[in-house]
Amino acid sequence: MEGKRSQGLDLALGGLGLATLVLLYWVGSRTTTFVPPIGDLLSQIPVFLSEEAIWPDVLATVQRVFGALAMAMVAGFLAAYVMNRGGLWGRVIDRYVNLMLGIPSTIAALLALFIFKRSEVGVYFVVAIITFPFVALTLLQGLRAADRRLDEMSHVYRFGHVAHARHVAGPHLVPYTFAALRNEYAHAWKVVVLAELFAVNTGMGARFARAFDRFLLVDAMLWLLLFMLILLGTEYLLLLPAERRILRWRASAREAAAGEAPA
């Protein structure tokens, strides 16, 4: 009934929320010595972005995130499959997934540093090992929730294994795969920074740490901003629209229109 007006108000309130953050930052920069003022930050942005030296590091981090996440997704799928089948190996994998769920990423990073020294492999190892158990559990949930009624349907109409996987099991898993991907995408970005901080000299995390160590706080802030921009930009402009498009057969429009509680 008041859809359009409401949306406008929502946007305005969201803007107000962001403005509050900026205000908080401004207060922080006024009251403490180390936080760089907003003016300095803004004036440095063009210089920072035109610096060619930043892009190899950005690219390195992007590569690590995507590579490690791909590994975690594949391994997570295999683990979920084995766990869902049960039996001794299902339970063994279940043990490992549970164990990995309890590894703090800092410890994983330090461990990787020992095992792989200061090499690229260590970063992949850390990110993959931290995100893997979450992927496995989300996909396992999907496999466990397989729709028995549709299984029956595909049995009655004599779908073969391939047709069943393609038309029933596959589409059923897609939402879960997306859920795992979306959650672990952001997670991977955050873990990669931590891993780079400890383990290597390249990448956005390492550059942030270096800027901080040399007390170039404007630079450190700009690295943080760039990081958030890339993470949120890809998440909200690529991942989410893709998910919505692929899952458009689900009637989720109602969910989106959240009502208010009774007075």
Partner 1 sequence: MRREDAVTLGPPGTRDYIRVEGLRVSYDRENTAIEDLDMVVGKGEFVAVLGPSGCGKSTLLHVMAGLLRPDAGRIDIGGRPAGGAANGESPRIGYVFQDHRLLPWRTVGQNLSTVLRAAEVNPEEIEERIDRYLGMLHVERFRDTWPMRLSGGQRQRVSIARALAVHPAVVLMDEPFSTLDEVTARLMRQQLAELWQESGQTIVFVTHSIREALFLADRIYILTRGPARVFDVVTVPLDRPRGYEDPRLTELEGQIVARVMEVWGYGAVDVPPDREG
Partner 2 sequence: MAVRAARVGPIGPERLRRAQAFVVAALLALAVWQLATFISDGWVPSLAEIATAFAEDVTTPSVYAEIWITFKRILIAFAGATSVGIALGVAMGLSRRITAFFRPIVVLGLAIPDPVYIIVAILVLGTDESSGLIAMILALIPFVVNIVVSGVRSRDRGLDEMSSVYRLGRRRYLIDVVARQVAPALIAAIRTCFAFSWKLVVLVEALTQPRGIGAQIYLSFRLLSPEHMIALALIFILVLRAVEALVFAPVERRVLAWMR
Point out which residues bind partner 2 (CB under 8 A): 6, 9-11, 13-14, 16-18, 20-21, 28, 32, 34-35, 88, 91-92, 94-96, 98-99, 101-107, 110-111, 113-115, 134, 137, 183, 186-187, 189-190, 193-194, 197, 205, 208-209, 212, 217, 220, 224, 227-228, 231-232, 255, 258-263
Q: Which does 5 bind (CB under 5 to 8 A by kind): partner 1, partner 2, none?
A: none
Nearer to partner 1, 9 or 74 (CB): 9
Within 8 A by CB and 6+ apart from 194, the residues are: 105, 106, 109, 126, 205
Taking the complex as a whole, the smallest distance from the CB of residue 117 to partner 1 amounts, in Å, to: 57
Q: Which does 21 bind (CB under 5 to 8 A by kind): partner 1, partner 2, none?
A: partner 2
Taking the complex as a whole, the smallest distance from the CB of residue 193 to partner 2 amounts, in Å, to: 4
Q: Which does 242 bind (CB under 5 to 8 A by kind): partner 2, partner 1, none?
A: none
Q: Which chain residues interact with partner 1 by CB under 8 A?
A: 1, 3-4, 251, 253-254
d(CA 259, CA 6): 11
Q: Using an 8 Å Cβ cutoff, are 126 and 116 in contact?
A: no
Q: Using an 8 Å Cβ cutoff, are 105 and 194 in contact?
A: yes
Nearer to partner 1, 17 or 259 (CB): 259
Nearer to partner 2, 97 or 169 (CB): 97
